Structures are given as C-alpha cells and as structure tokens.
C-alpha cells in the first residue's frame, strides 16, 4: 500500500486506504472509546462528566480527545442553551454508527476478561439477536442505561 500524508486542520495524517488504520486513526485509542462509551451508554454530555470517569482521564488528554473526536466527525459540540458557559457533547451519526463495534468489544471482553463488569442480561440479548439488540440500543444512545450498582436498567 502506498502511504500518503494528508493535512487536516494543521495536522498530518497517514492514509494508506487500510480500513483498520482509518478506524484507529479516527476513534481508536483507549480514551476516545471511553468518551464514546460514556456518551453512548452512560448519558454523559458535559466536559465535567467525562473528567469524573472511573478510569481517571487527565484534563489535558480529555480536552485533546474531545477536540479530535469533534474534528473527526464523531462528536458534536454545542453550547448548552440553558447554561451558555457550558458545552454539550453528543454523537453524530458517524459516532452512533460505532454502536455495533462497541457491542462487539463488550462481547469480546466478556469472553476473555475474567474481571469484566459486562452486564449478563445485555450479553445474553446481544448473543440471542444481535440486530434486535443493536436497534434497541441505538434508540437509547445518550441515556444512562445503568443503575447505581452498574446493572443495566433497560427493560425489554
């Protein structure tokens, strides 16, 4: 594959045409995926919400990843109409289309991580009917689907 450098917003990105490289350069580091997870499944939408994640992201990394996700078309950043000093982060359609990938990552971790906290009910739903699960979860994007104990609070 021929390697090309493409300049976007002052940064150079490598492009080989490889779909895996494209995905990884768009959303593929730990912190970016945790931000997507927190918006998608935990209803987080403000900078301060993300700063309080249990994984302990530093503020400089958080600011950098939010900007990159916005630049790459994964997130929208809009001023909060009720508090003009805050911004609301939400997934674009491109970001929402990461749902099947996120679901498969959860399934994969459930199979291989003995410490996983994956909700058993969600895993069973995913394994029984993947398409119905994805459709159901797509309708819940942006809502917190977990209770205080970390258990899924979504009813069938």
Domain boundaries, the chain: 21-138
Q: CA neighbours within 13 Å on the CB side: how many for 6?
A: 9
The verdict on domain 21-138 having CATH code 1.10.10.10 is yes
Higher pLDDT, 8 or 128: 128
CA angle 130/112/51 to nearest 5° reads 80
Rounded-to-integer distance, Cα 57 and Cα 35, Å: 10
For residue 14, what are its two tokens? 């490598």
CB 74 within 8 A of CB 82: no
CB 42 within 8 A of CB 51: no
Rounded-to-integer distance, Cα 3 and Cα 136, Å: 40
Residue 7 pLDDT > 70: no
Rounded-to-integer distance, Cα 68 and Cα 71, Å: 5
pTM above 0.95, yes or no: no
Higher pLDDT, 150 or 18: 18
Reported as a single tens digit per residue, the pLDDT across 21-53 is 888 888 878 999 999 999 998 889 999 989 887
């Amino acid at each position: 594959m021929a390697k090309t450098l493409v300049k976007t917003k002052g940064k150079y990105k490598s492009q080989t045409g490889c779909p895996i490289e494209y995905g990884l350069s768009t959303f593929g580091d730990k912190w970016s995926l945790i931000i997507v997870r927190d918006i998608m499944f935990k209803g987080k939408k403000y900078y301060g919400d993300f700063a309080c994640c249990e994984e302990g992201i530093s503020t400089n990394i958080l600011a950098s990843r939010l900007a990159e996700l916005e630049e790459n078309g994964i997130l929208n950043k809009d001023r909060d109409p009720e508090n003009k000093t805050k911004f609301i982060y939400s997934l674009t359609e491109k970001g929402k289309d990461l749902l099947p990938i996120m679901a498969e990552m959860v399934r994969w971790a459930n199979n291989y991580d003995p410490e996983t906290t994956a909700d058993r009910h969600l895993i069973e739903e995913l394994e029984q009917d993947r398409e119905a699960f994805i459709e159901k979860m797509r309708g819940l994007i942006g809502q917190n689907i977990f209770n205080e104990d970390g258990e899924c609070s979504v009813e069938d």
